[in-house]
Structure formats: C-alpha cells, structure tokens
C-alpha cells in the first residue's frame, strides 16, 4: 500500500516512537467482524447454539466477534433473519460506549449505512424512539433496510441536514451519536480507495463540517443528556481540536471519561478520550469522545463501561404494544382500514392488538407510529415507525418489516425451516416452496410467517398446495 508522504509525516509527528510499529501494522490484513442482534438473541444462545462460524470475541463490546475472511457471512440464512450485522470491529466501539437505555429518545445524526443505528435500536428493546438520519437520501435507503432487517420497530428514518433537524426538535434527545464524516485516515488499510479521497479532501476540509454538525447536535441534546462523537481518522484537527472547540463554544458541555479497555490509547494533550490504533488493537483507527450536557440539577454518578454484556438481558419484544390510549384519537383512515379490508383478519393471527391511536394510513400504506412520535414534526421521512403493510383493493398485505419485528411465537401460523433445508434458500430467492405431508396436514389457507430455526424471514400465503412466496423482492438472495 502506497501511503501519501504528507500523511506519513503527520503520523510521525503524532506517534513519535510508536510510528514504526504503526506503519508495520499496514502489512497485516484488516480484521472482519460481526455483531449479533441482542434484540433477537443473547450471547449464550449465539455462541452455543446459533453461530455457524468460528468466533473470537471483540473485547470492547459484549456482542461483537472476529470472523475469518472466508466465512461468507453475508451468504447465510441467519444474515437474512437479521441475527447479526457485519461490521469492522473498531467501528463497534461508538455504539457500545454510548449508554443507551430502553425508553431513551436517541438520535443517530450521520447514521448510514446503519451499523451503529442497529446497535442503538437493539439497546432500546422496542421502547422509546430512535431517529436515524443521513443527509444522503440514497444512503438513507440502505440505512432503512438494515434497521428493518434487524426488526427495530420504534424508528424514524430521515434524510435532512442537521440544521433542519435542530430547528424541528430543539433540546429533545437523551442520547445522540455523531459518527461524523471525516478524512478516513483510520480506514486506509481496510479501504485503500480512501487514500485518493484524502488527497482531494483532507482533514482541513472536514473539520469545519464536523464542528457545524456538532453545534446542531448539542442544540438537540437535553440537559443531562449524553453525546458520543466519533471519527475514523487520526487527524488531531478532526479529533481533539474539534472537541476543544466544542468545549470552548458550548460551556454547558463536559467530557465524561470512558473506562478504557486493553489496547486503548488516551487522547493527546491528556484529553480523556479514546483513540484506537491498528498497532495496538485488532482493528482499524477510531476516535471517541463521550460528553454530557450539564444539568442544573445535582448529577447522579453514572457508570461508563465499554459495553453492557447481553448475557443477562432479556430480548425486547419487538412488536409489543402498550395498552390502548384512552385519550388517543383514531383517524377516519384507520376506521376505513378496519371496515374495508381484511386487516383485522390478519391482526387476529397476531398474539396482541395494535393501539389504533398510533396507527396511520397514508397512500394505502399502514404505519404503526412510535409511542412518542409527534405528527407536527415536519421532516423528510423515509419511514415513520413500523410499516405494518399495504392495502391493495380492499386487501391487506403485511410488510417485510413487520415480519422481521415479530417473533415466530407471536403469529398463529408459522413454518420454521432449518438453515440446512434447501427450501430456505429457495424461499429467500423468491421461489415457491412446498410443504411436506406432515406440514400440509396442519396449515390452513392464508398468511404464514416463514422462518429459519425459529427466527422470522418473511411472509408466504398458503394456497392449500404450496406456499406462495411473498418475500420482499429487494431483499432476495442473489
């Protein structure tokens, strides 16, 4: 790999005696990793029952693992079941460090393609709200797919500028993640194409953008709320200097030291931040700073650890619905949905009922809004809440998203195939599949939730002789 001389000179000044060890690390191959979905399973089940790969734990997060480059993890049915996300190991750190709790209102400001948002959403366990934003509409579409693949129901996916979001929300969020656009120096080993981009637009180009984004983020953070700023660059002007600028311009913000883990370096100028270097850890370069907006009320001592272990956590019920709101209004469109379609027949097959006051019908699409969603938010949405399905000529067809948000036990008619069953891949390719004689004896005509080893994949409609494939075309196995 040919690294730019200007970049190498900067790293010599930055690293001093560590420079040679850092440079040697570029002779090694980058590390691949995956992070299992804590909203669907836990570490014990993943390691002892589910994982089809040889695994080695990533030390800074409770659900991350190294995998071999020959694992072909994107070609396994469990990937299509949303059981894991493929992610470079050091990139797992920001969402692991931000202490998100169920019920929080969380913003991922620069979220695409969704590696960090999927982890934040899983931490919420179906409670509270996750607003995932990316200014690029095309990138936001990939973000939406990954969130829906993970079965996260309480989302709003937007494509707005940070300034527009700030003008709508004000100080609303409990937790904010800013994984800022940067010069990408820490990813040169993983993606050498970034070198050309760095030569065209280096650290001095990105630093003003990062500061503008941070200013908007701070204005959307509640007093007492926490903000995690991260980059995948080594440049001090994008890292410590940007944090120093923020502390000077926003006196209500303060740094929160993060408990380090093996291989972690602190910041330059003794700043209590986290730096990850490829010669110190098995991963690429990253920078993390955890900050809190000061509250006038006395502060309660908080724990700050790299990650909460999912071993003892129970999985959130992705489709769980609170009790019907007595004061909530039911729209005329929702009443029409109930009377002029077979939505209620499909809902009768689900083990719980949807709060009608949280349902919204627009252009034939039926959405289930997060409990704290406010319709006055005038934003460019790609998704508001959970897409339940679509009305087609007085017929309701449930969505791929709601299939992923359910558990198999929450639908009355299911077919769980094994990962080794050849019908599993055929289903994922969009083909018609057929029941065995034993299966045919128990199914009735109508909707069936198809899964793999107990985890949903999507819908089919049983005709009496076969399962008519309803797997979403845009997600099919290629």
Clarify whether residues 372 and 419 are in a common domain. no
Q: Residue 105: enclosing H or E segment and its boundaries?
A: strand 105-108
Clarify whether residues 440 and 339 are in a common domain. no
On the question of pLDDT at 473 being above 70, the answer is: yes
* Structure tokens, 91: 């990139």
Which residue, of 272, 293, 314, is where some domain finishes? 293
Clarify whether residues 338 and 390 are in a common domain. yes
C-alpha dist (Å) from residue 413 to 42, 148, 418, 462: 25, 22, 17, 10
Question: Is 2 among the domain residues?
Answer: no
- pLDDT category at 393 given cuts 50, 70, 90 is confident
Clarify whether residues 54 and 199 are in a common domain. yes
Cβ within 8 Å of residue 264, ≥6 positions away: 60, 274, 275, 276, 280, 281
- Closest Cα partner for 236 from 195, 178, 287? 287
Q: Does residue 98 come out as left (phi exceeding 0), alpha (psi in the -120 to 50 range) or beta?
A: beta
Question: Is 323 among the domain residues?
Answer: no
Report pLDDT digits (tens) over 138-162.
999 999 999 999 999 999 999 999 9
The mean of the pLDDT values for the chain is: 93
Report pLDDT digits (tens) over 357-369.
999 999 999 999 9
Average confidence (pLDDT) over 60-77: 95
Q: What percent of the chain has pLDDT over 70?
A: 93
pLDDT of amino acid 305: 36
pLDDT of amino acid 193: 95
Q: Does residue 443 sit in helix, strand or coil?
A: coil
Cβ within 8 Å of residue 300, ≥6 positions away: none
CATH number of domain containing 234: 3.40.50.150
Clarify whether residues 129 and 267 are in a common domain. yes
- Closest Cα partner for 398 from 442, 444, 456? 456
Clarify whether residues 180 and 239 are in a common domain. yes
Clarify whether residues 32 and 113 are in a common domain. yes
Question: Is 305 among the domain residues?
Answer: no
On the question of pLDDT at 309 being above 50, the answer is: no
* Structure tokens, 379: 């934003």
Question: Is 299 among the domain residues?
Answer: no
Clarify whether residues 346 and 457 are in a common domain. no
pLDDT of amino acid 297: 55
Q: Is the pTM of this model over 0.85?
A: yes
pLDDT of amino acid 9: 97
pLDDT of amino acid 329: 84
Question: Is 120 among the domain residues?
Answer: yes
Report pLDDT digits (tens) over 73-95.
999 999 999 999 999 999 999 99
Q: Which stretch of 307-316, 414-423, 441-450 has the lowest confidence by average pLDDT?
A: 307-316
Question: Is 47 among the domain residues?
Answer: yes
pLDDT of amino acid 312: 29
Q: Which residue has the tokens 């570490």?
A: 43
Which residue, of 372, 403, 434, is where some domain finishes? 403
- Judged on CB neighbours under 10 Å (0-12, 13-18, 19+), 377 is middle
Q: What are the start-end ranges of the H helices in 341-457?
A: 343-347, 400-405, 422-428, 437-440
Residue ranges of the binding site for S-adenosyl-L-methionine: 110-116, 134, 179
On the question of pLDDT at 6 being above 70, the answer is: yes
* Structure tokens, 400: 């791929």
What strand order describes the sheet that includes 365-368?
A: 359-362, 365-368, 386-392, 395-398
Residue ranges of the binding site: 110-116, 134, 179
Q: Which residue has the tokens 């602190």?
A: 266
Clarify whether residues 142 and 244 are in a common domain. yes
Number of domains within the chain: 3
pLDDT of amino acid 328: 66
| Domain around 451 | 409-475
Question: Is 225 among the domain residues?
Answer: yes
Report pLDDT digits (tens) over 157-214.
999 999 999 999 999 999 999 999 999 999 999 999 999 999 999 999 999 999 999 9
Give CA–CA dist 478/472, Å, rounded: 13
Which residue, of 232, 265, 293, is where some domain finishes? 293
Phi, psi (deg, nearest 5) at residue 303: -90, 140
On the question of pLDDT at 303 being above 70, the answer is: no
Cβ within 8 Å of residue 422, ≥6 positions away: none
Clarify whether residues 250 and 201 are in a common domain. yes
- Active site residue: 232, 265, 315, 391, which one? 232
Clarify whether residues 138 and 248 are in a common domain. yes
Report pLDDT digits (tens) over 312-355.
232 233 333 333 333 468 999 999 998 889 999 999 999 999 99
| Residue 81 DSSP class | T
Question: Is 339 among the domain residues?
Answer: yes
265 is a catalytic site residue: no
Clarify whether residues 279 and 366 are in a common domain. no
């Amino acid at each position: 790999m040919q690294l730019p001389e200007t970049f190498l000179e900067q790293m010599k000044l930055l690293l001093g005696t560590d420079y040679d060890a850092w440079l040697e690390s570029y002779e090694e191959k980058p590390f691949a990793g995956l992070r299992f979905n804590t909203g669907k399973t836990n570490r014990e089940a993943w390691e002892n029952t589910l994982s089809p790969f040889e695994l080695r734990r990533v030390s800074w997060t409770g659900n991350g693992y190294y995998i071999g480059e020959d694992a072909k993890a994107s070609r396994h049915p469990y990937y299509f079941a949303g059981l894991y996300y493929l992610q470079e190991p050091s990139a797992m750190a920001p969402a692991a460090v931000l202490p998100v709790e169920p019920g929080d209102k969380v913003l991922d400001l620069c979220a695409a393609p969704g590696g960090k948002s999927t982890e934040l959403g899983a931490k919420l366990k179906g409670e509270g709200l996750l607003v995932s934003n990316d200014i690029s509409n095309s990138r936001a579409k990939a973000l939406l797919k990954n969130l829906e693949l993970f079965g996260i129901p309480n989302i709003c996916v937007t494509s707005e500028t940070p300034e527009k979001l700030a003008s709508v929300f004000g100080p609303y969020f409990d937790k904010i993640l800013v994984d800022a656009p940067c010069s990408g120096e820490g990813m040169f080993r993983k993606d050498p194409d970034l070198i050309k981009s760095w030569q065209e637009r280096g650290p001095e180009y990105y630093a003003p953008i990062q500061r503008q984004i941070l200013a908007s983020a701070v204005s959307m953070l509640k007093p007492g709320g926490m903000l995690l700023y991260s980059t995948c660059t080594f440049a001090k002007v994008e890292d410590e200097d940007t944090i120093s600028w923020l502390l000077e311009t926003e006196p209500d913000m303060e740094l929160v030291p993060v408990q380090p883990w093996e291989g972690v370096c602190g910041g330059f100028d003794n700043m209590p931040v986290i730096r990850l270097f490829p010669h110190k850890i098995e991963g690429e370069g990253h920078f993390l700073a955890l900050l809190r907006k000061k509250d006038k009320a006395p502060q309660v001592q908080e724990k700050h650890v790299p990650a909460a272990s999912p071993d003892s956590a129970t999985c959130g019920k992705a489709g769980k619905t609170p009790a019907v709101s007595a004061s909530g209004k039911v729209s005329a469109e929702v009443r029409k949905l109930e009377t002029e379609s077979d939505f209620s027949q499909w809902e009768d097959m689900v083990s719980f009922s949807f709060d009608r006051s949280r349902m919204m019908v627009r252009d034939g699409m039926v959405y289930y809004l997060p409990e704290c969603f406010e319709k006055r938010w005038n934003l460019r949405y790609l998704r508001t809440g959970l897409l339940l399905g679509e009305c087609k000529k007085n017929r309701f067809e449930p969505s791929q998203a709601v299939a992923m948000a359910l558990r198999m036990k929450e639908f009355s008619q299911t077919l769980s195939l094994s990962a080794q069953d050849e019908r599993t891949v055929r289903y994922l390719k969009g083909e018609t599949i057929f029941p065995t004689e034993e299966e045919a004896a128990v199914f009735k005509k109508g909707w069936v939730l198809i899964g793999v080893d107990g985890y949903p994949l999507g819908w089919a409609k049983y005709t009496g002789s076969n399962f008519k494939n309803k797997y979403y075309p845009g997600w099919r196995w290629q």
